[in-house]
Structure 1
Amino acid sequence: MTAYVVIDSDIADDEGFQQYVDQVFPLLEKAGARNVLDEAAPLVLEGDWSWRRLVVHEFESRQAVEEFWNSPAYQPLKELRRRYSTVRVVVGGA
């Protein structure tokens, strides 16, 4: 069953963060994932949700998400991402 990774990101350095983006997209493609949404100004219809940037990736399954997240290839990119941004990441789906 499809799983979605929902990311709320606060990017401190756009140029630095682009290094992460350039490297992570090939890994996402290799993992069979696709980018569904990248929204700089999401519309909040109810509540006090204060998104900075909303990103959604679609994976084949939750297991595929966990394999990607824990893969040796992704670990150095986590550190690169943390250098230039703060994120909150959740997964929904099976």
Structure 2
Amino acid sequence: MKAYLVLDFAIHDLRGFMPYVAQIPAFIAKHGGKYVVQGTEPTVMEGDWAPQRMVILEFPSRQDAQAFLDDPEAQPLFAVRHATTDSKLVLVDGCD
């Protein structure tokens, strides 16, 4: 079953964030992932959720998504994202 990582984030240090933008796609691909939505500004249609930017990544399985998150070589990039953005991340299973 496919799995999705959904990231809602606001960048507060664009210059510092750019190494993440340049390097993280290789780690996504390494774990079989692909962008479904890449850093777009969403339009809120209902409710009081106010996301700034959205990224949605699709992985072949929950295990692949978790392996991406746990990849030791990607941890420094995740630290860059944490230091340069305010972000919220969820992992959800898709429908097959």
In structure 1, the residue matched to 2:89 is: 89
What does the per-residue CA deviation read over 1:10-52, in whole Å, with 9 as the maximum and x for residues that have no partner? 1111121111111111111111100110243211111001001
Instruction: Confirm or deny that 1:34 pairs with 2:34.
Output: yes
The TM-score normalised by the length of structure 1 is 0.92
Instruction: Confirm or deny that 1:75 pairs with 2:75.
Output: yes
Partners of 1:41 and 1:28 in 2: CA distance? 21
Give the fraction of aligned pairs with identical amino acids, expressed as a percent.
37
Q: Is there any run of 5+ residues in structure 2 with no aligned partner, and where?
A: none
Q: Name segments (4+ residues, structure 1) moved above 3 Å.
A: none
The one-letter amino acid of 1:86's match is: D
Q: Is there any run of 5+ residues in structure 1 with no aligned partner, and where?
A: none
Instruction: Confirm or deny that 1:20 pairs with 2:15.
Output: no
In structure 2, the residue matched to 1:6 is: 6
CA RMSD of aligned residues (A): 1.2
SS in 2 for 1:74: helix
How many residues in Structure 1 have an aligned counterpart in Structure 2? 94
Partners of 2:39 and 2:84 in 1: CA distance? 18
